[in-house]
Structure 1
Amino acid sequence: MSIKSFAAKIFAKSVHKKMMDWAANPVKTQQKVFDGLLNQAKNTQFGSDHSFSKINSFAEFASRVPIRDYEDLKPYVEKAVAGEADILWPGKPLYFAKTSGTTSGAKYIPLTKESMPTHVNAARNAILCYIHETGNAAFVDGKMIFLQGSPELNEKNGIKLGRLSGIVAHYVPSYLQKNRLPSWETNCIDDWETKVDAIVEETKNEDMTVISGIPSWVQMYFERLQAETNKKVGDLFKNFELFIYGGVNYEPYRAKFEELIGRKVPSIELFPASEGFFAFQDSQKEKGMLLQLDSGIFYEFIEAFKFFSENPKRLTIGEVEEGVNYVMIISTNAGLWGYNVGDTIMFTSTKPYRVVVTGRIKHFISAFGEHVIGKEVEEALNIAMKKHSFSISEFTVAPQTSPKEGLPYHEWLIEFENQPKNINEVEKTIDTAMQSQNSYYKDLIVGKILKPLVITVLDKNSFKNYMKSQGKLGGQNKVPRLANDRTLADAILNL
């Protein structure tokens, strides 16, 4: 055992103990975060506008601070972007994480000296929890790759800005720098396909032990590796021991990954966003990701089906239940207040609080009142993949409200890696699984308002070509699993 792996085990034990201390006292932990946020921000413009100094309870906070999305918060953000201080949080942000919004154009999410460490520490702690639980630390001596955006940053009014993954790249601990790939020069390549080819060249002869990224883009990397070397990834990287991912559900990709790798590899799921690092998988034995209650983020939850009603009830951590689909609302030490991130989650456990991501509040299908969410379509597809032994590259689902003939239906656009022999049987399996999960959908099928779903088989690289046409190939970009209209579906079909 190397000195580095031995030290990692000791550090992992210490960090895990601290985590379990706050996880065992969730309400107290969140109250401490809540009080600290209000106290620190009471003299900011936002704090003054919303009378933070007079707030003594969550109920008062909820009455003074409405739920906001980026558009609602934009007037404050624009002042911070212009270089003004003490707007949403004391002082000026350290960075702005620049993301592409669908209605807002570019979005500038503030990152502060208080919030930045929480992003770095959560990613680190996810790995340390794995080491603590499994006792496996040998991989820290090998090479690690994180497929991410360019670390090159621009500057606006004295504040640096870039993609979150590029900003975080500047905070890689010194003890990992020698192990980390790709090189800085390769990481700065803008064109994703050129970048992947360069990464293949840099890594194909290295001892890669940890690989991290969004599954769809890691799959491209694995495919290029296999094409270049004519070897399974697991044979090429004999000590590849850990896959770390986030952004989308891994399950639809798992079969293809195991085929490309040639064996099973343990994985860790992360739940990061520009707005905060919310959760990570702390156990290989338990379902869900540990919600980070002690990381400068105060959480609220609203039942998803009630979210668009007038004055929906805002719940705190001690009021949530397992198995309910919630919209997650955050207030943070980066200056986001009552902020709707857009993600929906479900608690798999409340001792401690672990969550799974169920989708996006704007990514659903309810063209006929069916309330279909991302978790349901992914689960239905996984059932079909296991039963009919096929794998996929990517998929999305959209309503077909005006078919040329017959009843409306849900159209599943699927790009297969290996196409099943009988598409009709796959359709039946998926539809049955959807009906078993969603009573609204079942009632519409039984009542002959909808006919059972229809699969449209897409050509190879359809999703890749679509993302490329939108300038969103690679990095942290991902395809929505479902939509309530046909904008995405028609765009892909019309390429």
Structure 2
Amino acid sequence: MTTSETRQDGPSWSDPERIERYRSRVFAERARLRAAFADPAGHQQRVLEDLLAFNADTAYGRAHGFAQVRTLDDWRKAVPVQDYSALAPWIERAAAGEDNVLTADKPAVFFTSSGSTGAHKKIPVTPQFMRTTFFPFYYAAWAPLIEHFPDVLARPDAVLNLKHDPIAAPPTTASGKPHVGASQVDFGAKFGEPLSAEPGTSAPWATLPVPVAADAHLEKMYLRLRLAVESDVRCVIGINPAMVAALPHQLNLWWERIVQEVRDGTLGGHPYRSPNPERARELDRLAAHFGRVRPAHVWPNMRALFCWTTGLASLYLPRLREEFGPGITLLPAPVAASEGPTGVALDRHPTAGSLVVTASVYEFADADTDLAPDVATLQPHELEPGRDYHTIFSHIGGLYRYAVGDVVRVVDREDSVPRLEYTGRNTLSNAAGERLRDAHVLRALTTALAAGGLELRNTACRVVHDQQGTPSYQFALASATPWSGDETDAFLTRLDRALAHESPGYQRARAQHRLGAPTALPLHPDAFLDDWHAAVATGVRPTQVKDRLFRQDPALWQRLTDGNGS
């Protein structure tokens, strides 16, 4: 989800008037979106008409005949389905400072996005996009949290916002525009939205009061955690669930340093405030009593977690939730990317969000179909529950028939629009014609684990070859408790069967002996957490170090197994 963090956009979260205005805006945007569901087709047509009228005289609009487009069929004929690489030459022109390339208004900032390759994209973000596409969905996304857990707004330090990462000197494009993560932009200052700051962005740790390098992300995470242990945190916002999963691990990794600094009143070795020996003694007692300290021990009034709840996270979040306390509610972050929104949860559904029909023109293609410029697409009303689809959107911000690279599953329909959950990237693993997607493997893993009563803290898979050159899939398995040999063998048999059920290509490849049976590589329970920390330690922002299922990089597997094999 794209978000804003700022402490400079008007009254802080300690101001009751500001909180009430924020609540009113959030609920009003949700109500407007729900009202739009009465006529989704009409709103889709209006979005198309608005983007065409606004951007018809751009270089891209002239080259693709925007002025002659009237209907979605016209649109399909005028513009090909395209990914970032196809739009990159146009984006680079805009990033270099050329006006009127993709959009009539100038990009104010370019979002970074790691995508599936790790390469840093430049996503143009314009004022018109923010007003018409982004902010309505963005405010509505917080409605379930503040409706059902109003105490998260009671104090500035009630929310630990893990992704909040303001930056004083952002990197820029050739034209001098900021090229940063969405969570590093002050939307209040940049786009004139005085209410855009998220919960938790006026906490004492929101802007760190001691010097720390911009790319010292682990140290910044430590400093925020050290400050947060002295507050009554009620909610954790992570968006990227890997960041939420890392928090219990970090508490124990840094525990002695945290307690000592609380006792001394220091922060990162710098004088900060008066020593707090009483809180230090409380923390010492927790460690003495429980041994392994959990977030639930430090923050007994924790109420909710806000992050993506699908994909690989669906395997570990149920158990991870217990680390934060009994009765914790998991609220799903929107189905969205830096490029734009797709779905937003307007209630407490655990995984799915309603299509944001007012934000973009949405098209979908069957997930088992290869995307191509002329791929046949479906409109929202043509989607079927229980099916997976590629997501393609067009919006006023300059992304036209853009294949964002995400695959979504239609859970059901609510108020006449589909509710969607993210199932993974559209990357195919295809060593022997099996054409496996994230969703195939995740559903197969879920089936195989449940049938044996087994759990995983995380997993990844790669293609390996035997001496005869036959490929097969090896699964790195980080489980909370060791599995017996019989359990592992039974799991692999069930996994093989479930993969064949999910993917006809896998079934054929196995039947024709072009693909071997899956194998297991047991790992230490913290293997993936340690690797996550190692990646962040290299200077990669934590929001961009995400769970990935298909991992072919030999260096990764060396890291996972070095000292971690069980």
Structure 2 SS opposite 1:260: helix
Aligned residue in 2 for 1:141: 154
Give TM-score scaled by structure 1 length: 0.88
Aligned residue in 1 for 2:264: none
Aligned residue in 2 for 1:403: 466
Give 1 or 2 for the bigger CA radius of gyration: 2
Give the AA of the match of 1:75: P
Question: Residue 363 of structure 2 contacts residue 380 of structure 2 at CA under 8 Å; is this kept in 1?
Answer: yes
Distance in 2 between residues matched to 1:11 and 1:101, nearest whole Å: 31
| Cα distance, 1:376–1:305 mapped onto 2, change above 3 Å | closer
Q: Which runs of 5+ in 1 are unaligned?
A: none
Aligned residue in 2 for 1:304: 367
Q: In terms of mean alpha carbon deviation, does 313-322 or 29-38 score higher?
A: 313-322
Aligned to 2:217, which of 192, 197, 209?
Answer: 192
Q: In terms of mean alpha carbon deviation, does 29-38 or 146-155 score higher?
A: 146-155
Question: Residue 149 of structure 1 contacts residue 476 of structure 1 at CA under 8 Å; is this kept in 2?
Answer: no
| Cα distance, 1:144–1:374 mapped onto 2, change above 3 Å | same
Aligned residue in 1 for 2:247: 221
| Cα distance, 1:44–1:9 mapped onto 2, change above 3 Å | closer
Aligned residue in 2 for 1:60: 74
1:181 Cα deviation after fit: 5.9
Please list, as runs of the form range in 1=range in 2, the aligned pairs for 1:94-105 lying within 5 A after superposition.
94-100=108-114, 105=119
Give the AA of the match of 2:43: T
Higher strand share: 1
Distance in 2 between residues matched to 1:409 and 1:204, nearest whole Å: 46
| Cα distance, 1:293–1:102 mapped onto 2, change above 3 Å | closer
Aligned to 1:242, which of 304, 325, 334?
Answer: 304
| Cα distance, 1:300–1:180 mapped onto 2, change above 3 Å | farther
Structure 1 SS opposite 2:122: strand
Structure 1 SS opposite 2:87: helix
Per-residue displacement from partner, 1:465-492 (whole Å, max 9, x unpaired)?
A: 6635875362232132126xxx32x232
Aligned residue in 1 for 2:142: 127
1:274 Cα deviation after fit: 1.2
Structure 2 SS opposite 1:494: helix
| Cα distance, 1:355–1:55 mapped onto 2, change above 3 Å | same
Aligned to 1:359, which of 409, 417, 424?
Answer: 424
1:244 Cα deviation after fit: 0.8
Structure 1 SS opposite 2:433: coil
Aligned residue in 2 for 1:371: 435
1:10 Cα deviation after fit: 6.0
Per-residue displacement from partner, 1:13-70 (whole Å, max 9, x unpaired)?
A: 5443322111232111111111111110001111111111111121122111112222
Give TM-score scaled by structure 2 length: 0.77
1:113 Cα deviation after fit: 0.6
Give the AA of the match of 1:242: A
The alignment yields a C-alpha RMSD, in angstroms, of 3.1
Distance in 1 between residues matched to 2:16 and 2:533, nearest whole Å: 46
Aligned residue in 1 for 2:514: 449
Q: In terms of mean alpha carbon deviation, does 405-414 or 33-42 score higher?
A: 405-414
Please list, as runs of the form range in 1=range in 2, the aligned pairs for 1:422-461 lying within 5 A after superposition.
422-459=487-524, 460-461=526-527
Distance in 1 between residues matched to 2:234 and 2:36, nearest whole Å: 31
Aligned residue in 2 for 1:155: 172
| Cα distance, 1:215–1:161 mapped onto 2, change above 3 Å | same
Count of aligned positions:
485
1:220 Cα deviation after fit: 1.5
Question: Residue 352 of structure 2 contacts residue 411 of structure 2 at CA under 8 Å; is this kept in 1?
Answer: yes
Distance in 1 between residues matched to 2:348 and 2:538, nearest whole Å: 37
Please list, as runs of the form range in 1=range in 2, the aligned pairs for 1:161-172 lying within 5 A after superposition.
161-167=179-185
Per-residue displacement from partner, 1:323-376 (whole Å, max 9, x unpaired)?
A: 332211111121111211111112222333211122222x22222222222122
Per-residue displacement from partner, 1:88-108 (whole Å, max 9, x unpaired)?
A: 111310100123467794321
Give the AA of the match of 1:342: G
Question: Residue 272 of structure 1 contacts residue 279 of structure 1 at CA under 8 Å; is this kept in 2?
Answer: yes
1:3 Cα deviation after fit: 6.3
Please list, as runs of the form range in 1=range in 2, the aligned pairs for 1:24-43 lying within 5 A after superposition.
24-43=38-57
Distance in 2 between residues matched to 1:182 and 1:446, nearest whole Å: 57
Distance in 2 between residues matched to 1:220 and 1:121, nearest whole Å: 31
| Cα distance, 1:181–1:51 mapped onto 2, change above 3 Å | farther
Q: Which runs of 5+ in 2 are unaligned?
A: 1-14, 256-282, 288-292, 560-566
Question: Residue 123 of structure 2 contacts residue 339 of structure 2 at CA under 8 Å; is this kept in 1?
Answer: yes
Distance in 2 between residues matched to 1:465 and 1:286, nearest whole Å: 28
| Cα distance, 1:276–1:399 mapped onto 2, change above 3 Å | same
Structure 2 SS opposite 1:399: strand
Q: Which has the higher contact order (CA 8 A, sep 6+)?
A: 2
Distance in 2 between residues matched to 1:78 and 1:455, nearest whole Å: 44
Percent of pairs with identical residues:
20
Question: Residue 114 of structure 2 contacts residue 544 of structure 2 at CA under 8 Å; is this kept in 1?
Answer: no
1:453 Cα deviation after fit: 1.2
1:310 Cα deviation after fit: 7.6
In the alignment, structure 1 residue 316 sits paired with structure 2 residue 402 = no
